[in-house]
A = this chain, B = another copy of it.
Amino acid sequence: MNILEKITNELDMLSKSERKVAEVILASPNTVIHSSIAALAKQANISEPTVNRFCRRLDTKGYPDFKLHLAQSLANGTPYVNRHVDENDTADEYTSKIFESTMASLELARKSLDANDINRSVDVLTQANKISFFGLGASAIVAHDAQNKFFRFNVPVVYFDDILMQRMSAINSRQGDVVVVISHTGRTKSLVEVASLAKENDATVIGITTTDTPLAKECSIVLSVDVSEDTDLYMPMSSRIAQLALIDVLATGFTLRRGSKFRDNLKKVKDSLRSSRFERKD
Residues in A lying within 8 Å of B, measured CB to CB: 33-34, 64-65, 67-68, 71-80, 85, 87, 89-92, 94-96, 98-99, 102-103, 106-107, 109-110, 113, 115-116, 118-119, 122, 137-138, 140-141, 144-145, 148-149, 152, 185, 187-190, 192, 214, 231, 233-235, 237, 240-241, 244-245, 248-249, 251-253, 255-256, 260, 263, 266-267, 269-270, 273, 276-280
Main SS of chain A's interface residues?
A: helix
Q: Which of A95, A145, A269 has the most CB of B within 10 A?
A: A95
Which chain B residues border A185 with CB–CB below 8 Å? 277
Closest to A92 in B: B115
Would you give the shortest CB distance from A43 to chain B, in whole angstroms?
A: 18
Across the interface, A263 reaches (CB within 8 A) one of B107, B234, B263, B279, namely B234
Closest to A145 in B: B141
Which chain B residues border A280 with CB–CB below 8 Å? 187
Asked whether A115 and B87 contact (CB < 8 A) given A72-B75, A74-B72, the answer is no
Would you give the shortest CB distance from A71 to chain B, in whole angstroms?
A: 5
Would you give the shortest CB distance from A237 to chain B, in whole angstroms?
A: 5
Q: Is the CB of B95 within 8 A of A256?
A: no
Q: Is the CB of B244 within 8 A of A244?
A: yes
Q: Is the CB of B74 within 8 A of A91?
A: no
